[in-house]
Amino acid sequence: MCYMEYDVVIAGGGASGMMAAALFAGSGLKVALVEKNGQCGRKLLLTGKGRCNMTNACQWEDFREHVHPDPGFFRPSFMGFSNRDTVEMFASMGLQTAVERGKRVFPVSGRSADVRDALLSRITGAGNVDILYNCEVMSVLRSPSGHFVVEILHSGDRMRMDEIVAPYVIVATGGLSYPVTGSTGDGYRIARSLGHTVTATVPSLVALVPVSYNLSLSGLTLRNVSLSLMVDGGEVQTEFGELTFTSDGLEGALGFRVSRRAVMALEEGKKVEAVIDLKPAVPVTELKARVEREFTPGIQLSRYLERFLPLQAVKPFMDANPSLNIQNLPVRLKCWKLQIKGHAGYRRAVITAGGVSLREISRKTMESKSVRGLYFIGEVLNLDADTGGYNLQIAFSTAAAAVRAVAAAGPISL
């Protein structure tokens, strides 16, 4: 067993851990970034379909609407390191960004690898941060003298346990989504072992699976439709935009936007339905008038439907509406009901909702209120957001808040 001393241990080299390490670079503090994979930022590479939607350029008033469950908790860290700071920091590292539709910010190169590499080059350039690859944080113990003992398992050539002693530990192990990238909920175990509460977690921004899902819909995107989420018969959310059907179920902007509430309702055993309005901008009276004008007896209903639906959707739509006829068509076009039986799970979820309870964490510094020197940043917290670059900004801002606090407190001799 090897014994090492550092000022700061960052557990997890994902988006938040790398940002924290990059902000510590040149600080004079001796920092260990401990990553269980053989590379950092495996999830970051997948973000934005490989293009990395690294933040969203909207104002806080809009930004906050996309943060769950407590945007007020996130406000101080956002104010301390905002979307603008993200853009400026990457620009200072030579990575230019562009704002796209919906104020989504992407690297101009269109490569998420460039975002990771910019952070890595800042981290390794200063000389005060060591990256320990293939090292899994197994436990974080508090010693009687007040510092932390971090037990790490090397998964490289030979399995070996080592210990790092440090006065500060930053837990940046992510949540449970896309476990193949390394986020397997280890931070929750660490948090609990140090007396923290972890609120129930569910996959969010995840495909919703309809009952008797017609796989022939897979690959279809419906544009300019609206999707209403019904829970136990009552409408709880309506969104307008693009809905994509994949082999897993309902996805795309609309599917993802309603998924958080849908999954939570499913977990509570409630009846969940997704209702698609294929013509949200056209009142039913207008549709009726159009049908009366256009439809002549000789036309097959399925052929006529092609005027309202992509060919791929015609049969599934008819199957879902067995009593469909020309009289009820206008109403049915505005009310294609799919009962939801489940979701694609953490394996395919973009984010984990739930996590380390925010009540036990300082909103200014991300420090534990009960364990001095212990910090939680990124997805491990009970903080998540919609698609659009908001989740990475949460990772970056919470990382910056913790780094500011640790740097201000300075080194503590062991």
Q: Binding residues for ligand FAD, per CB under 6 A?
A: 11-17, 34-37, 42-44, 46-48, 52-53, 136-137, 172-174, 177-178, 181-183, 186, 350-351, 378-379, 389-392, 395
Structure tokens at 222: 């419906």
Residue 154 vs 279, nearer CB to ligand FAD:
154
C-alpha closest to that of 228 among 314, 336, 146: 336
What's the closest the beta carbon of residue 195 comes to ligand FAD, in angstroms?
Answer: 18
Phi and psi of 241, rounded to 5°? 150, -130
Contacts of 55 (CB under 8 A, 6+ apart): 83, 86, 87, 105, 389, 390, 392, 393, 396
Residue 276 vs 403, nearer CB to ligand FAD:
403
Dihedral Cα 23, 28, 34, 37, nearest 10 deg: 60
What's the closest the beta carbon of residue 368 comes to ligand FAD, in angstroms?
Answer: 16
Taking the C-alpha atoms of residue 366 and residue 353, their distance in angstroms, rounded to an integer, is: 18
Residue 332 vs 343, nearer CB to ligand FAD:
343
Taking the C-alpha atoms of residue 346 and residue 269, their distance in angstroms, rounded to an integer, is: 19
What's the closest the beta carbon of residue 281 comes to ligand FAD, in angstroms?
Answer: 29
Residue 83 vs 228, nearer CB to ligand FAD:
83
Residue 262 vs 395, nearer CB to ligand FAD:
395
What's the closest the beta carbon of residue 279 comes to ligand FAD, in angstroms?
Answer: 31
Q: Which residue is nearest to ligand FAD (CB)?
A: 14
Torsion sign, CA atoms 7, 10, 11, 12 = negative
Residue 98 vs 311, nearer CB to ligand FAD:
98
DSSP secondary structure string for all residues of 26-75: TSS--EEEE-SSSSS-HHHHHGGGGT---EE-S-HHHHGGGEES-HHHHH
What's the closest the beta carbon of residue 186 comes to ligand FAD, in angstroms?
Answer: 4
What's the closest the beta carbon of residue 5 comes to ligand FAD, in angstroms?
Answer: 19
